[in-house]
Structure 1
C-alpha cells in the first residue's frame, strides 16, 4: 500500500506500429473499466483511479500510484487491433491479479498477574496489532512451543485495514519467553516478551471454621471466669484457717493452740 506498481499486459505494440492502431481496455473484476484507449486517445477512466493511473503506450503496462487497499483484486488487459477497415480483432485477453499488502504494526504484548503462589503464577497475556492487510492470522508460543489463543478478535476499519487482538491465560512455574506472531500474505511480524514469575511468595491460609472459633471463644470465657472466681474466693478460704490478731504475740499463740469448740465436739462425736 502506498507504493507504485505496474500491471503487465499480454501484448506489446511492435515498433512498426503505434497505439493509434489499437484499442486497449484495462478492467477490474471484469465490470469496472479502469481506463480505455482507442486510436491513440484515452476514451475512459474510472473516477477512483483519476490522477493515480497511467499506461505505457508501447508495452501497455498499467501503472498505479499510490496503491490503495481497494486496488486489490483481479484485472484484465484486453487488446484489439484495428485493421484497414477499422474492424477490431482481439489480440489478447488475459487476467493479472494484484495482491496489495499493508504492513501490520509490531505486535504489542502486555501481561498481568491475576493470581500467584510460591509454586506458580496465573497470568493474562494480550497481544495486539493494527493497520494491516489482508486479514491476518495470529499465533502464540511459549519457549518456541505453539499455543492456542483462548480468545482472538479481528476487526476491519473503514479504510479496509485490519486490527487483531488475542488473549491467553497461562500458568507458569518459572520465567518463560512468550512470542506473538502476525501472519499475512506471506509476511510475518513478531514480538517477544519475557514473562517473569513473581518473586513474592504468597501462602494462602485457610480461615478457621465457625465451630473452631466458637469453641475457642467458650474456652477463653471459661478460663477468664475461673480466674475471676479464684481471685474472689481463694483469699477468704485461706484466712478461715488463720488466727485473729490478738493484743500480744503470746496471747495469739495461745489462742491458736486452743482447739475450737466445734473441733472438740467433732472429735468426741467421732470417738462415740
Structure 2
C-alpha cells in the first residue's frame, strides 16, 4: 500500500489561511453587492438599520455616529453621547437608537426617499478614531395618502361631497369638495384640508342679500342703430323747421296788406266809372 506524502505543517496552514481570506473576500463582496432597501409609505414611521451595535460593556460616549443622505447631506450626528448636528428639514422628525444606531423617521415624506449612509467610529483616541462600519441603506417611499376635507357652517360640521384624482401611486392628489347651501342669513363658512400631518384652513363670510337686483342687459346692436337713426331724423327735422318756418309765416303776414291795397284801388276806380256814366247821361 502506497502512502501519500503529507504536506508540511507550514504549507497546510498557508492553504487554510488563503482559503479563509478567499471566503472572507467573497462574503464581503456579497455584502457589498447586496443592496439594502427599506420600504415605507408616506406618513408612516420607518427605521433605517445601521451596521453596528454597541456591546453591553461599552457606552455611547466612546462612539461617533454619522447619518447622512446622498453622501453630502448630514441628517444627524452624535459624538461622545451628544447630538452635535441635525438637518433642519429633519427637525422633530428623526431620532437615533443609542444602542444599535437605528435612524427613525416619522412621519415619512416624499423627499425622504433615497440612499442613507451610516458611519460609525470608535473613539480610541481623539486624534485617530477608527472606523468600525460604513454601510448604505436605501429608503423607498411609496404612495400619497388621501387628504381629508372638512368644513363647518357657523361652527357646525357639514358633510362634503369629496372626489380625489391622482395620476399614479407616487403622484399627489387633487381633491375637490362640493357643498350646496340654502342661505337664509349671514353665515361663516370654514373649509379645511388635512394631508401628511399638515392642515390648511380658510374662512369665508356668506351674506344674504335682501333685494334681488336684476342685472341690466345692454341693448342690442340693432336697437342702438335704430335709436341713432331716429335721433338723427329728429335733429334734421328741427333744423329744417328752424330755417323755413319764419319765411312762411312772414309770407302769410303780408297777404292782408295786399288785399287792403287792392280794395283801396277798387274803391278809387269806382267813382271814376260813375262820373263817366253821369256825364254820358247828361249829354
Range class of TM-score, shorter chain: 0.3 to 0.5
**Higher helix residue share:** 2
Q: Which has the larger radius of gyration?
A: 2
**Higher strand residue share:** 1
